[in-house]
């Protein structure tokens, strides 16, 4: 995220890779502080020995067994020597159990030491002093065959660690340093039959001093700063020859896609004291290959195989084609016995990202241009890895019509990219801003300047991440800078590592409008906004408007649903939320720029009128968020194929939040969906009719591959009481595929429509040749537009000098909406609830009022939302006599045995709940 020099340093931060899934949602629902506590974690009453079962390590050559968990304890509480702590049989009395991937704080939360840190200001009460000393991580593993070679293979140590095995230090913290550095330690000589012990003495983390992970202004940073081990520690077994660095370099024939050349590469390493001959066999699908290699003692040699494929299975982003994947399998044998194996999954696709004539980066996948439509990713605040939770969010991305996820730092573990490959979601990983990663180039931000010791850590980090990510077809770039591009020395450090790792996708200098000496111009912009601006802002081809590639941008705050607000804040905090715009909001940001909702609340009051209650505040917030998020994506969609200064990419800041937040999210922590979510879903539907805030044109955007013809576009203007004031229909509309758009008509100015109220409604519909409605879009507009003060644009927003008058919506009569629902159990443990909602108004008198933004929530018998859920559509607007049928798909188990119900509410719809059996 961009910070201009005149702005004081912010506390901004980001999430990371992986962590323990212990009680991901379960242990984080306590809503009261569990009594007073001392400054350090309390010992259990009888100080039991922590029961963490030893990991049984397989003996088969080529296997890699992850440690199953740890016992952890503060070094301030451990008086025994490192040799004793790291020896088998040590009694870990009073220690805490931790998962295989766990920060210190994640483990303590799971162990019940602290109550829900996502509720109220509970996290603020956790003493930081507890985490300013090293912590021990200790794990036992058993080996039946100590004769085989044994290695420890790991990354994800935050921030650094001394490593011990069976009482001996095998690595120092100066060498095991940095969250992304990969380490392989040969421990064969130390391994014994039976129980063995590995112990890490983890150093405290400071993102401004260490090349790790921080949080900047995303959320209130965890008191432990994520110190711990957040990726798997693997125990590898093998024979004399080890296979490492297996990967496939693909070259696809573009544009024909008729063939592909594959280059298989690996390194064979002789770890024995004598020369050996190894036979390396490999396969990709039905293709097999082999090579015999002679290795001197402790020699490493590169092995290469070449394959030519005709009619390859080409990997595409979701919506553009399928996502086929290939498997590479290698085996190295010595004297006929397997010594090691390697497996790698990869996809065949071509990525290019040249700069267009305007200097903006334009991505092409397999020769086809596409508009990058993405969101900024945030892992869990405590870096707890939960595959189901991550998969649910990625499915939401597809449901929203997004095609890309940007990971600024906090680069997730392998499983994340496996899921992205499978679902066809593009990813933009890169280093983060505003801390040590950009300390050498970021002006007056908080990261320390680099020392000579930082360059090898940066290079090793880049090499490890490049090797890990290069075969994932979902990865389409690496951003070696965020708010700033690296200087010449740092860039060379990164590029040398990328080249050595066979990195063949584009390297981008920065997420902002910066250049580096070798990579050149980034072709991206980071001009904001990050706080509230009106919907018409997005249509200007300047600042953060719809031109070029905007790497992170949104109108800032996103107030969750009332259900979620009550899960995350006390009644007193909720009262302050809607009554006091100037109050500091703990659940917004630690940044002095973003710690209140003043800009947002002023706009909400100025446009919709002052809130009269918490319910009214949330109701207005959902309406405002729907219109603003919809406008952001619609503007970029409309401008994507412009001849001059086209829009090439937009990343909503942010896709999600790592905790219970009041800003920067399209869905909330609990995966509930409100106006922001459904505004994005509406804007990104495959075939879409939309209104342009800048010139009143009605445009049809076609995100399908095939063109669409014989469409009918209709635009109707209504007063808020439902009186129709203008109606126009255009037939024979056609639009090409691949993101093209066609202008169907232009609406008249409000002043030229006789009797049109200051606040009015626009209903747009698009029907196909058979008369079936394929897109519907409803806007609430004002004859008095929002006025922007461009001359006083700041790095995070452009002031609004006068607001659109949407207060007329408050006078809309209540619209009677009926609902019927039924549920069927589907495959794979899912259920589908079908809901038909109908505006039962008579069409006469007060009964002609439309129901605006009618929301349907699936709830259990206690009225709690069933989450996650995917709706076919939601937050719909219906005119008298109109009805629509919606479907909700979800895991049956998330009902927890309850019968499903449906809660219907809306802007002017009385809330009611009906059975959905």
> What tokens does 777 get?
């879009």
- Angle, in degrees to the nearest 10, between helices 488-500 and 454-469: 40
Would the CA dihedral through 595, 597, 599, 602 be positive or negative?
A: negative
**Which one, of 659, 663, 596, lies nearest residue 629 by Cα?**
663
- Distance, in Å, from the CA atom of 774 to the CA atom of 818, rounded to the nearest integer, reads 23
Strands 135-143 and 55-57: parallel
The 10 Å Cβ neighbour count of residue 319 is: 15
**Which one, of 63, 67, 57, 55, lies nearest residue 239 by Cα?**
63
- Distance, in Å, from the CA atom of 75 to the CA atom of 84, rounded to the nearest integer, reads 13
> What tokens does 413 get?
């573990």
**Are 53 and 70 within 8 A, CB to CB?**
no
In DSSP terms, 135 is beta-bridged to 74, 202
Place of tokens 């069976």: 166
Place of tokens 């003043």: 598
* Catalytic-labelled residue, pool 465, 552, 558, 685: 552
> What tokens does 1 get?
């995220």
Extended strands (E) in 318-370: 326-334, 337-346, 351-352, 364-365, 368-369
**Are 482 and 512 within 8 A, CB to CB?**
yes
- Distance, in Å, from the CA atom of 353 to the CA atom of 494, rounded to the nearest integer, reads 19
Task: Respond yes or no: is residue 721 known to be catalytic.
Answer: no
Q: Which residues contact 511 (CB under 8 A, 6 or more apart)?
A: 406, 408, 430, 433, 479, 481, 482, 483, 522, 524, 526, 551, 552
> What tokens does 21 get?
């899934």
Would the CA dihedral through 362, 367, 368, 373 be positive or negative?
A: negative
Task: Reduce the DSSP state of residue 520 to 3 states and report it.
Answer: strand
CA distances from 213 to 43, 152, 464, 599 (A): 29, 23, 16, 30
**Which one, of 529, 522, 518, lies nearest residue 548 by Cα?**
522
**Which one, of 781, 747, 746, 775, lies nearest residue 761 by Cα?**
781
Task: Respond yes or no: is residue 496 known to be catalytic.
Answer: no
Helix intervals (H) in 762-851: none
In DSSP terms, 832 is beta-bridged to 824, 889
Extended strands (E) in 791-875: 800-802, 817-825, 830-839, 851-859, 870-871
Q: Which residues contact 300 (CB under 8 A, 6 or more apart)?
A: 267, 268, 269, 270
Q: Please provide the size of the chain in residues.
A: 917
Instruction: Provide the terminal-to-terminal Cα distance of the chain, rounded to the nearest Å.
Output: 47
**Exposure b/e, 459-496, CB count within 10 A at least 16 = b:** bbbbbbbbbbbbbbbbbbbbbbbbbbbbeeebbbbbbe
- Distance, in Å, from the CA atom of 857 to the CA atom of 850, rounded to the nearest integer, reads 20
* Catalytic-labelled residue, pool 217, 386, 483, 875: 483
**Are 369 and 284 within 8 A, CB to CB?**
no
Active site residues: 483, 552
């Amino acid at each position: 995220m961009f910070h201009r020099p005149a702005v004081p340093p912010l506390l901004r931060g980001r999430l990371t890779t992986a962590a323990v899934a212990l009680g991901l949602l379960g242990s984080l629902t306590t809503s009261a502080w569990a009594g007073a506590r001392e400054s350090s974690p309390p010992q259990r009453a009888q100080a039991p020995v922590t029961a963490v079962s030893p990991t049984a390590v397989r003996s088969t050559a080529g296997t890699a067994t992850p440690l199953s968990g740890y016992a952890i304890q503060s070094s301030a509480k451990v008086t025994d020597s490192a040799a004793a702590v790291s020896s088998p049989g040590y009694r870990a009395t009073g220690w805490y159990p931790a998962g295989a991937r766990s920060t210190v704080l994640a483990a303590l939360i799971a162990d019940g030491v602290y109550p829900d840190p996502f509720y109220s200001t509970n996290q603020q009460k956790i003493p930081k002093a507890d985490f300013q000393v090293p912590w021990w991580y200790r794990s036992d593993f058993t080996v039946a065959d100590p004769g085989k070679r044994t290695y420890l293979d790991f990354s994800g140590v935050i921030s650094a660690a001394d490593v011990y095995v069976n009482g001996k230090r095998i690595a120092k913290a100066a060498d095991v340093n940095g969250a992304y550095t990969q380490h392989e330690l040969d421990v064969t000589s130390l391994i014994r039959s039976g129980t063995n012990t590995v112990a890490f003495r983890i150093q405290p983390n400071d993102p401004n001093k260490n090349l790790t992970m921080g949080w900047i202004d995303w959320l209130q940073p965890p008191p432990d700063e994520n110190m711990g081990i957040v990726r798997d520690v693997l125990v590898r077994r093998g024979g004399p020859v080890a296979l490492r660095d297996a990967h496939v370099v693909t070259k696809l024939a573009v544009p024909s896609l008729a063939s592909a050349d594959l280059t298989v590469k690996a390194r064979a390493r002789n770890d024995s004291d004598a020369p050996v001959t190894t036979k390396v066999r490999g396969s990709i699908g039905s293709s097999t290959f082999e090579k015999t290699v002679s290795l001197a003692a402790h020699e490493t040699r590169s092995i290469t195989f070449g394959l030519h494929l005709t009619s390859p299975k080409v990997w595409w982003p979701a919506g553009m084609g399928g996502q086929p994947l290939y498997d590479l399998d290698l085996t190295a044998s010595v004297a006929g016995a397997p010594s090691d194996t390697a497996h790698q999954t990869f996809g065949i696709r071509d990525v290019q990202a040249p700069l267009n004539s305007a200097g903006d980066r334009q991505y092409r996948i397999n020769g086809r241009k596409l508009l990058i439509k993405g969101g900024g990713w945030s892992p869990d605040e405590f870096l707890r890895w939960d595959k189901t939770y991550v998969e649910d969010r990625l499915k939401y991305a597809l449901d929203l019509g997004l095609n890309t996820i940007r990971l600024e730092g906090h680069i997730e573990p392998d499983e994340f990219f496996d899921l992205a490959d499978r679902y066809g979601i593009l990813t933009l990983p890169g280093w983060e801003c505003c801390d040590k990663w950009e300390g050498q180039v970021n002006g007056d931000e908080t990261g320390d300047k680099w020392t000579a010791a930082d360059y090898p850590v940066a290079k090793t980090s880049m090499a490890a991440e490049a090797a890990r990510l290069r075969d994932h077809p979902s990865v389409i770039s690496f951003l070696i800078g965020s708010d700033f591009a690296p200087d010449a020395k740092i860039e060379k450090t990164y590029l040398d590592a990328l080249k050595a790792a066979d990195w063949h996708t584009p390297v981008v200098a920065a997420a902002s409008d910066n250049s580096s000496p070798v990579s050149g111009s980034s072709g991206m912009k980071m001009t904001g906004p990050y706080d509230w601006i009106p919907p018409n802002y997005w249509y200007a081809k300047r600042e953060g408007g719809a031109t070029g590639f905007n790497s992170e941008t949104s109108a800032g705050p996103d107030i969750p649903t009332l259900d979620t607000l009550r899960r995350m804040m006390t009644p007193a905090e909720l009262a302050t939320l809607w009554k006091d715009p100037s109050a500091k909001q703990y659940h917004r940001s630690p940044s002095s720029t973003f710690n209140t909702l003043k800009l947002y609340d002023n706009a909400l009051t100025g446009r919709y009128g002052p809130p009269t209650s918490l319910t009214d505040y949330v109701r207005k917030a959902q309406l405002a968020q729907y219109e603003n998020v919809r406008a952001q994506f619609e503007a970029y969609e409309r401008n994507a194929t412009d001849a001059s200064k086209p829009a090439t990419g937009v990343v909503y800041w942010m896709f999600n939040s790592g905790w219970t937040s009041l800003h920067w999210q399209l869905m909330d922590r609990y995966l509930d969906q409100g106006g922001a979510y459904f505004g994005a879903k509406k804007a990104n539907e495959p075939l879409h009719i939309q209104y342009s805030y800048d010139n009143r044109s009605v445009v049809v955007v076609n995100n399908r591959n095939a063109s669409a013809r014989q469409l009918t576009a209709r635009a109707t203007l209504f007063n808020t009481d439902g009186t129709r004031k203008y109606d126009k229909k255009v037939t024979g509309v056609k639009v090409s595929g691949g993101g093209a758009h066609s202008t169907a008509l232009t609406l008249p100015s409000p002043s030229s429509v006789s009797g049109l109220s200051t606040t009015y409604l626009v209903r747009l519909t698009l029907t196909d040749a058979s008369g079936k409605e394929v897109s519907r879009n409803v806007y609430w507009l004002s004859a008095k537009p929002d006025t922007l003060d461009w001359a006083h644009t700041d790095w995070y927003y452009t002031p609004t000098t006068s607001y659109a008058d949407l207060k007329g919506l408050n006078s809309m009569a209540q619209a009677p909406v009926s609902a019927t629902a039924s549920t069927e159990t589907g495959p794979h443990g899912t259920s589908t609830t079908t809901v038909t909602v109908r505006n039962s108004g008579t069409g006469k008198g007060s009964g002609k009022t439309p129901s605006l933004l009618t929301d349907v929530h699936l709830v259990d018998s206690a009225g709690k939302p069933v989450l996650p859920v995917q709706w076919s559509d939601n937050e719909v607007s219906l005119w008298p006599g109109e009805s629509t049928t919606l479907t909700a798909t979800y895991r049956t188990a998330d009902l927890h045995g309850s019968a499903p119900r449906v809660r219907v509410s809306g802007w002017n719809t009385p809330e009611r709940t009906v059975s959905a059996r």
